[in-house]
Structure 1
Amino acid sequence: MAAVIEHTRLPKLTPARMKPGDVLRVGAVGLRTRPLRAFLSALGIAIGIAAMIGVVGISSSSGAELDRTLSALGTNLLTVSSGHTLMGEQAKMPVEAEAMIERIGPVQAVSAAAKVGDAKVYRSEEVPKAQTNGLSTYAARLDLPATVGATLRSGTWLNAATERYPAAVLGSSAAQRLGVGAAGPDTQVVVGGKRFTVVGILDPVPLAEELDSAVLVGWPVAAAELDFDGYPTTLYTRTEEASLETVRSVLAGTANPEAPNEIDVSRPSDALAAKQATSQAFTGLLLGVGAVALLVGGVGVANTMVISVLERRSEIGLRRSLGATRGQIRTQFLAESLLLSALGGAGGVLIGTGVTMGYALYQGWPAVIPGWATAGGLAATLAIGAVAGLYPAVRASRLSPTEALATP
């Protein structure tokens, strides 16, 4: 009898495993049945990802444009300027510094500029003396534009004739602040109490930005009319790329052998590094804002999933009654949360990419979107989807079939 009972005992049933395609289908049920709610939840994720992609992309595109500009102008420019003495006073560079640096073998070109401190600049004599607009007057050598890569927007540069007479070239910012739109024989500014004719206006000079807010006059006329003492304050040096660091190490001692500590030596890459540090700090701030938006989107996904569990209790009870395990219920709702976040992340990547490319195209920049930003954005959305959907999925799996089916 026992053998018969043993023979007729029903075999133990094991629940069927869900294939990946089955997981996707059941996970998409909630998205298909409630498309508007799913869209609004995914939109929150998309906004956060788009903000992050856009910030990183625009910042990278701007940096690429700056690198391209510097590469076109040449990064072999070294700047030698007067520093300070041990007492904190402004040091003076020797008059012979320019000639001494020219003797360095790898040096290809040297040009000098000197700030004329007492020569204030005004549009006319009627402007109050306190309104200097932050402009400076520089005595400049004739070969200065070729050395620093400056170009003219209007007029001409100083020549052997005009450098001896009251003629001036305005930097791009200086022209804007003085209200000078074009150079011409009838356009004059007041420099050090004397009228100078504006013969040229420069374009912005990326490798020597101090010239943008300067009024440049000839070396001889500065000495004759503006009480210029003849000491250079800045030397611009072009050198061979291969010998850049070697030349940089000897420039201070060559410019002022008696007090090399009173000489400051820099190059465009130093200014570029400072700009990039500032840009990275600003980018970090904006990325924080994008992360907050992403967090808000994750909260929206979690809220959507909790409501979905409450509304679909009968469906959960029916599936449990038909043999679905707790693990399969968890998988269903976790897959739905991940799908919702993935849709938002993909939409955010597309929006952020479109914004970056559109803005870069408008500015004439190369469009650069780092791969790590796209991959990181998608990974962040999946992580948020998993975290946001975990609690609702566990809650759904713990519902007993009878309790779920009894819910109206």
Structure 2
Amino acid sequence: MSSEKSTAADDRRFETLSVTYGEEPDLSNGVGDVTSPIHLASTYTVEGIDMDTALEDLDPEADEFLYTRLSNPTRHAVEKRIAALEGGDHAMAFASGTSAVVSTVMAAVEPGDHVVAFEDLYGGTNTMLKELFRDRLNVAVDFVDATDPENVRAATTEETALLWMETPTNPLLRLCDIEAMAAVADECDALLGVDNTFMGPYFQRPLELGADVVVHSTTKYINGHSDSLGGVAVLSDDEYAREIGFLQQVGMGNVMAPFDAYMVLRGMKTLPLRMAQHETNAAEVAAYLESHDRVSAVHYPGLDSHPQHDLADDQMDGHGGVLSFELDGGLDAVERFVAALEEFTLAVSLGGVESLIEHPASMTHSPLPAEERAELGITDSLLRVSVGVEHPKDLVADLERGFEAMVAGEGSATDAEADAPEASPGDD
């Protein structure tokens, strides 16, 4: 994939940038750390009083630091590396993926503006757009089926300031055509934001396809070890970057902590290796599930059966490590299935080296009303899987264990019904 891919940073390949970019050893202190130290200081010494230097004039590139909320050497290394991997000029690292989304959207809109969003978004983003931006900040929000660009075009108005997309979506792995979305955004003079958390820059780089800004929950694949919370926004427009940076540092002060930044730097060193194995394993798990007679549907862009498989091949360099599937059974069957698993842990989140499974209707998408979940296709029998880097044969064997428990439970229920005494004519 990306062994032949260079980024906007320089002519080095993705794999090289992921290990070293932004973290060059500093010999000026006589130590020369190979990896960036964790800079925990909350404030920094300045050389003297300078009436001509404002806060916004500080340049972290020149090692000018004043206060960690404004800039921190460890966080700055993260920002430089992720910007290089996504091919952007600017990156701002936040305390969470949610805070990255909030700040990015807030920097793009003002009261009276209009947002068009993919209807199949992460439940937290969906709720945020409704309850924060629509209900409190007077920003109109329309959710549409963005698998068809014409639906997005038809939803735009003269007030549309932002198109907000996830691709693939959470949890149904639906895609939107990023280049087509960029064209629609240009037509209505709006910005295009893309949440790239599911693919990461190894498999998809939306800025290259016309997006104005890309966000990630670094908690997921960017860090990759389920032990750090964070988010990032990446873009190239200087003015938009200043607006997001103001919210990050001053407006809300919601910055990535130094220790989390250190963990993300460490995680990115193995990003290409991990992503390749995630995809290999997910492809094998998806093929197994699609062939199982107790699975009614599998949602994974790498399958030929995915309705947007060709689009996935066109705009992505791989298909990722997340999939979802529908069990042929009710909620009781789902509960028996997940309870029997030993390798897949029942937990929210994704993108770590360990395999996780979650039930969207009762977990990540529980904030959505039941009728809205039904409209989106999030049924009680839907399960989402983040396929880790374990041996795929062990993961398939674990899923088989779940199916065996599901079927055994159905047999027990049938036996119990058969053993139940017949009701007498006088019984109610």
Shared fold per TM-score greater than 0.5? no
Greater helix share, structure number: 1
- Greater relative CO, 1 or 2 (CA 8 Å, sep 6+): 1
TM-score band, normalised by shorter chain = under 0.3
Greater CA radius of gyration, 1 or 2? 1
Using structure 1 for the length normalisation, give the TM-score. Answer: 0.25
Using structure 2 for the length normalisation, give the TM-score. Answer: 0.24
